[in-house]
Chains A and B, each alone.
Chain A
Amino acid sequence: MSSARDAHLTRGLPLPVPSADSAEFYEAARRGELRFQRCSACGLFRHYPRPVCPRCLAREYSWELSSGRGTVYTWTIVRGPTLPAFEEKLPYNVVDVLLDEGVHFVSEVLDCPPGEIRAGMPVEATFVPVSDDVTLVKFRRVRQG
């Protein structure tokens, strides 16, 4: 058991309950993969998972591997109030990452102090197990140059 998981388990972290739509996402995350639905007809990547392509309405899709790379599209620093599960880490960042595949994903940049978050900052996915079933997708800064 990782220490990150233990820490979360003891804090009553609110956790996703995977649904028919999202189960594949979480199974991939547990393997250390970031996967999104991709329309078989028009090629559009989409998030949140859903049964129909928002662009062409096709219902066929596959779960495709994402590069895991993207940039910070927008962000906030949560300074409280927040849920008890997150109080210990206040202040913390929440970011919207625009992935190279074109989907937006709400997450957190790990090991990045509040003053260092920047829009456009390159980031890459990392995987944090928080329970026996659930691994959350977080991000880390990518060194440039």
Chain B
Amino acid sequence: MISEPSIRDKAAIAGIGHTRFSRALGMTEVEMAVEAIWSACDDAGISPREIDGLVRYDLEQTDEEQLLAILGNPHLRFFAGTPFGGGGSAAVLVVAAAAITSGLARHVLVFRSRARGKHSGYGRGGAQGGRYWEKVGTELPALNQWHIPQGLVSAFQEMAMISMRHRIDYGTTDDQYADVAIAFREHAARNPNAVLRQPITREEHHASRMISDPLRLFDCNIETDGAVAMIVTSTERARDLRQRPAVIRAGAMAAGSHHIRLSNLFARPWEEESPVRVGRELFAMAECTPADVDVAFFYDFFTSLVIIALEQYGFAPRGEGGPFVESGGLAWPNGRLVANTNGGQLCEAFVHGFNNTIEAVRQIRGTSTSQVEGCELALVAGANTDPTGAVLLRRDR
């Protein structure tokens, strides 16, 4: 339960920056990080030397030590990270807002730099780019021992099993998956940053290769090179900077059982799943409802998980996420809930949700290529796995 909405409205995203998104940029992750960080500082109108806080994403390979060198050894006062992969992608902003609210830092950098395009150079280390699951080796301690020897080797197969259960329970269809893919591709077609901009048809979706039933190629995020950075500061300070602030109205995190540990996940009641809990806490803190949200950014690693997120965050009743996305339900400008106006991770780029977050900031600023008219409130959700986190961004009044 929330007694004090302690971070509510206290912090804002004041600067956003990114590299180009591409199948192959020919840059290292550190080089991309520098470009995105500099661009975010320019956008905000601050010097990189003013950064005194840092929230890393746990899969990030550009570490504090490298960043200290990059930033000319500033006096970092606050550093933290969010664990749990994609689930932590919006939680970085919750942690940054907490640091700002508590006075532990004044300008917090959050960023993600990721070289995973098909033609980018993969590192050899266990966490150095490439497909993490190809590097698990043949001796499996801990919980990997229960899945990988059975042939369940990667997150996309686990997500496939979660998606299949949603079809078993609610009859979710290939057509509904296609509705998500088509809407987001339409958004990407208007976004010059997007890697995939060619509109697709329902038939093309259905004809794309099955990867792990029920997920086809066009249900899956793309793999790209790219980096995204944001500067979070106090709402008051943000008002003095260059851009219209995207105020963090509310933020929440929840952990309970790791999603890729299916035996735990399936043993839990739906109401206790982390995204459901985050949704409840988020709207309670913001004192509003899903109906107040003007645009939403779901962690679209798979079309099916977008449909599930709609239910978890209360936009659709449980089991009705599929019908919700039909007939352009998520499409700009007339959808029931316009979502992922950058084309999301299915089409723009896969920067672990950070590219979706900066598009939410553009919506609040009024500068999206699929701008929602009068946009005042945006939801940004991390991967709706378990654990996870989410924020609501609002226009400053």
Contact surface of A with B, Cβ cutoff 8 Å = 12-19, 22, 47-48, 54, 73-83, 85-86, 89, 92, 94, 96, 98, 102-108, 114, 119, 130, 134, 136, 138
Contacts and interface: CB of A to CB of B under 8 A. Distances in A.
A119 B160 CA distance: 14
A93 B175 CA distance: 23
Interface centre among A76, A108, A114, by most chain B C-beta atoms within 10 angstroms, is A76
Interface in B189-214: 209-214
A48 B267 contact: no
B339 interface: no
Interface stretch (B62-70, B135-143, B278-286, B343-351): B135-143
A15 B139 contact: yes
Given A14-B153, A48-B146, A106-B263, 17 more contacts: A13-B149, A14-B139, A14-B148, A14-B149, A19-B145, A76-B160, A76-B161, A76-B214, A83-B134, A94-B152, A96-B161, A96-B266, A104-B263, A106-B152, A106-B262, A119-B168, A136-B149
A86 B157 CA distance: 14
Contact of A75 (B153, B164, B210): B164
Contacts of A107: 150
Interface of B: 131, 133-134, 136-143, 145-154, 157, 160-162, 164-165, 168, 209-214, 261-264, 266-267
23 contacts: A14-B136, A16-B149, A17-B139, A17-B140, A19-B141, A48-B261, A48-B263, A74-B161, A75-B213, A78-B151, A78-B152, A78-B153, A79-B212, A94-B151, A94-B157, A96-B262, A96-B266, A104-B262, A104-B263, A106-B147, A108-B151, A114-B213, A134-B149
Given A73-B165, A74-B164, A17 B145 contact: yes
B206 to A, nearest CB: 15
Contacts of A130: 149
B150 A108 contact: yes
A98 B161 CA distance: 13
Contacts of B140: 14-17
A105 B262 CA distance: 8
A79 B211 CA distance: 5
A74 B133 contact: no
A11 to B, nearest CB: 10
Interface centre among B131, B134, B143, B157, by most chain A C-beta atoms within 10 angstroms, is B157
Nearest to B138: A14
A13 to B, nearest CB: 7
A130 B210 CA distance: 29
B153 A82 contact: yes
B150 A48 contact: no
Contacts of A82: 151, 153-154
What 9 pairs across the A-B complex have the smallest Cβ distances?
A: A16-B145, A74-B165, A76-B160, A104-B263, A77-B213, A119-B168, A104-B266, A94-B152, A14-B138
Contacts of A136: 149-150
A48 B264 CA distance: 8
Contacts of A76: 152, 157, 160-161, 164, 212-214
A17 B138 CA distance: 9
A12 B168 CA distance: 34
B143 A94 contact: no
Contacts of A96: 161, 165, 262-263, 266
Contacts of A17: 139-141, 145
Nearest to A118: B168
Contacts of B138: 12-15, 85
Contacts of B149: 13-16, 130, 134, 136
A106 B62 CA distance: 35
A123 B211 CA distance: 25
A75 B148 CA distance: 15
B143 A83 contact: no
Given A17-B141, A19-B142, A74 B168 contact: yes
Contacts of B153: 14, 78, 82-83, 86
A73 B151 CA distance: 17
B210 A79 contact: yes
Contacts of B164: 74-76, 119
Interface centre among A12, A54, A104, by most chain B C-beta atoms within 10 angstroms, is A104
Contacts of B263: 47-48, 96, 103-106
A92 B151 CA distance: 8
Contact of B150 (A73, A80, A106, A119): A106
A22 B145 contact: yes
Contacts of A77: 210, 212-213
Contacts of B133: 83
